[in-house]
Amino acid sequence: MEGNGYVLFGDYWWLIIVLAAMGMGLVKTILAHQRANRGLDLLKTYIDQGKEPPGELVQYLRAPQDRWRDRGPGRDFFLAILFIGLTGAFCFNAITEQDQDVYFVAIIMGALAFGFALKGWMKHAQESRRDAP
């Protein structure tokens, strides 16, 4: 006997992925904030002792955080492969369950896969031109 919980989970299982992504973003923000606070505490310790903080420490703290936008095309290709897999999974689900609405989700996943692949190729070409002699 199926309860409402099973039906609810069956209809909205994909929200787990969205909530997990939001949670990872929150953890990343919290960790960046803790890093900044530790750096400020370390600088305060040097200043309280009347010492000049090392240049490497100041440079490290002023450096921008490791941002996903600064990475190479590998992340985009990974996301393209991920969304290709999701596209295949949704197409398989649409075919086996005879649910035409799932094709819409598969089309969106396919468009995202194409977009990430295109972005990765553009980054790769840009890096190749920059590194060329």
Residues 6+ apart with CB under 8 A from 46: 52, 53, 57
pLDDT in tens, the chain (133 residues): 456 767 777 777 788 888 898 999 899 889 888 988 888 898 899 999 998 888 887 887 787 665 555 567 788 899 999 999 999 999 998 888 888 888 888 999 999 999 999 998 998 888 888 766 6
Give the Cα separation of 56 and 46 in Å (integer). 13
Is-contact 60 68, C-beta < 8 A? no
Q: What is the pTM of this model?
A: 0.52
Query: CB burial class (10 A; 0-12, 13-18, 19+) of residue 109?
Result: buried
Looking at residue 97, what is its pLDDT?
A: 84
Give the Cα separation of 51 and 69 in Å (integer). 36
